[in-house]
Amino acid sequence: MYPIISLSVTGLLTLFLGFSENKKIVFPASIAFLLIALATAFIDWNAPGFYFNDMLQVNNTSIVFWAILIISAILIMGFSEGFERFEFAQPAEYFAIVQFSLVGAIMMVSFKNLIMLFLGIEILSVAMYVLTGADKRNIRGNEAALKYFLMGAFATGILLFGMAMFYGATGTFNIGSGVFIGGDNSFFLWIGCTFMLIGMLFKVAAAPFHLWTPDVYEGAPTIFTAYMSTIVKTAGFVALFKVLSTTFSGLQDFWWIMIAVLVTLSLMIGNIGAVSQNSFKRLMAYSSISHAGFMLLALLGDHENALGSIMFYSVVYTLATISAFGVLMVVSKERIEKGRVYEQNDLFKGLAQNNGFLATVLIIAMLSLAGIPLTGGFWGKFFVFRDAASSGLFWVIIMAVLMSAIAIYYYFKPVLLSMSKKTSLESITINPLAKFIFAITTFGTIVLGIFPWILRSLF
C-alpha cells in the first residue's frame, strides 16, 4: 500500500523538479524516489491484510512482486543517463510518467476489486502510449504509438465488456469468491470470462492477440521497449493469474482448453516468426510472444505452484531482456544511419573483438532466453514444464520443447555475429552506471542458473 502513496507523491515532486534550472538533478532524484518506494514496499512485510474497504490485498507474495517491478524499473531507468538526444528532451515528464505507471503496475498485482484492476491496467497502458510516442520527430515512433494506442484502447473496450457481463452474472466486482457455472446467468459468465481473458491477453501480447507487438516494439524508443516487455508483462501475468485462480477457478474446465490452445499458438507464432527477423527489436518482440506462451503454460498446472513459477520466470526473463536491450542501446548509439540508430542484427558483428564485456553480457542474456542450462532461463522453463506436466498436458509440452529447439537457432544468430572477426564499429564507450547494471543482470542470471532455489523457495 505504501509504495502506491509514495510513488504518486514522488511522481508529482518529479514534475515540479522540471521547473528547476538544473535539469541534471531530475535523473538522480528519480532513482532516489524509486529506491524510497522500494524501501516502503517492505513496511507491510509479514502484515497481510486488506486495505481501503477491500480494494487492495497485501501479502508477502504481492510485496515480492512490488519489489520485482520497482527493481526492474530502476535497472531500466539506469540506462537513461546520457540519452538526452532522443527521449529526454523533457526529462521531468518522462521520469514522472514512469513513476506514475508503476502505481498502475502495483495496482495490477495487488487488486481485490475489478475496478482496481481496470484502473491499474489503464494507468499502465496510458503511460505506455505516451512513452512509446516519446521520440516525437521519429515517424516510426509515431506510428508505433498510434498502433499501440488504438489496439490498446480496443482491448480495453473488450475487457470492460467482459467485466460488465461478469457484473451482470454475479452482481459484484469483488474477486474474492469463486463463481460457478449454473443457473440463469451462466451465459453472462461465459461471455464475461472470455472477453476479460481476451482483453488481458492483448496486454501481455499472447497470440493470436499479438498483432501489435512487433511493430510497437520496433518503433518505440529502445528503453521503453525494455520497459514494456518486462514490467507490463510481469504485472499482466500476475493479474491474469489472480483473476483465473480466484474468481474463475470454478470455470476451470472452460478456460483451461482455451489457454492450452493459446499456449500452442503463442509458441508457434513467436518462435517461427522470430526466425526470419533481421531487426533485433523485432526478434525480441517475437521472442516475447513465445515467452508469453511459456508463462501461460504455468497457468495450466496446479495453482499452488503456478505463482512461484510465474515469479521465477518473469525474474529471469526480466534480467535477460534488460541485458539484451541494454547492450542494444549502448551499441546502437555508436552507429547512426539516416538520422536514427541502427538496430539490425548485424549491428553486433565483431562485438566480441571490440568489447569483450558487452559481448559476454549479450551472450549470457541470449543463452538465458534460449533456456540453456547453467543460466536462469533453463530453470524458468523447467519449472513451467514441471507445472504443466502435473496437469497431464503432454502434447503441449512436447510442442514447447520442440519450439525451444527452434528458439536456440534464432537466439544464436546475434551470438554468432558477435563472435565473427570483422567489426563495423569503432570503440564503444560505456558509462559506469550502465556497466554496473550489466554486472547485476548478468550475475543475477548466472546465480539463478546455479542456485534457483534461493528465489524459487520464497513461496
Cα distance between the two ends of the chain: 20
Binding mask 58-97 for other proteins (x = CB under 8 A): -------------------------------xx--x--xx
Residue 430 contacts other proteins per CB under 8 A: no
Residue 55 contacts other proteins per CB under 8 A: yes
What amino acid is encoded at 190 in this protein? W
Q: Which of residues 3-22 bind other proteins (CB under 8 A)?
A: 4, 8, 11-12, 15
Q: Which is nearer to other proteins, 217 or 312 (CB)?
A: 217
For other proteins, the binding residue among 35, 47, 139, 405 (CB under 8 A) is 139
Beta bridge partners of 279: 344
Q: Which is nearer to other proteins, 42 or 161 (CB)?
A: 161
Of 84, 67, 83, 73, which Cα lies nearest the Cα of 31? 73
Contact assessment for residue 57 and residue 112, using Cβ atoms and an 8 Å cutoff? yes
Q: Which is nearer to other proteins, 83 or 357 (CB)?
A: 83
Residue 144 contacts other proteins per CB under 8 A: yes
Q: Which is nearer to other proteins, 184 or 426 (CB)?
A: 184
Q: Which is nearer to other proteins, 114 or 310 (CB)?
A: 114
Residue 267 contacts other proteins per CB under 8 A: no
For residue 23, which phi and psi values (nearest 5 degrees)?
A: -70, -15
Q: How far is CA 139 from CA 72, 145, 212, 341, in A?
A: 28, 10, 16, 13
The three cell numbers of residue 160 are 470492460
How far is the C-alpha of 5 from the C-alpha of 413, rounded, in Å?
A: 45
Beta bridge partners of 336: 341
Q: Which is nearer to other proteins, 151 or 351 (CB)?
A: 151
What amino acid is encoded at 113 in this protein? N
Q: Which of residues 368-407 bind other proteins (CB under 8 A)?
A: none
For other proteins, the binding residue among 19, 171, 395, 426 (CB under 8 A) is 171
- Cβ neighbors of 313 (< 8 A, separation 6 or more) are 291, 294, 295, 298, 380, 381, 383, 384
How far is the C-alpha of 244 from the C-alpha of 334, rounded, in Å?
A: 46
For other proteins, the binding residue among 22, 253, 339, 421 (CB under 8 A) is 339
- Cβ neighbors of 190 (< 8 A, separation 6 or more) are 181, 251, 254
Min dist. Cβ of residue 263 to other proteins (A): 23
For other proteins, the binding residue among 36, 130, 181, 430 (CB under 8 A) is 130
How far is the C-alpha of 366 from the C-alpha of 375, rounded, in Å?
A: 10
Stretch of residues binding other proteins (CB under 8 A), selected from 133-141, 230-238, 245-253, 305-313: 133-141
Q: Which is nearer to other proteins, 272 or 430 (CB)?
A: 272
Q: Which is nearer to other proteins, 129 or 256 (CB)?
A: 129
CB-neighbour burial class of residue 334 (10 A; exposed 0-12, middle 13-18, buried 19+) = middle
Binding mask 196-235 for other proteins (x = CB under 8 A): ------------------xx--xx----------------
For other proteins, the binding residue among 23, 60, 81, 122 (CB under 8 A) is 122
CB-neighbour burial class of residue 348 (10 A; exposed 0-12, middle 13-18, buried 19+) = buried
Residue 338 contacts other proteins per CB under 8 A: yes
Residue 245 contacts other proteins per CB under 8 A: no
Residue 41 contacts other proteins per CB under 8 A: no
Residue 397 CB-half CA count within 13 A: 17
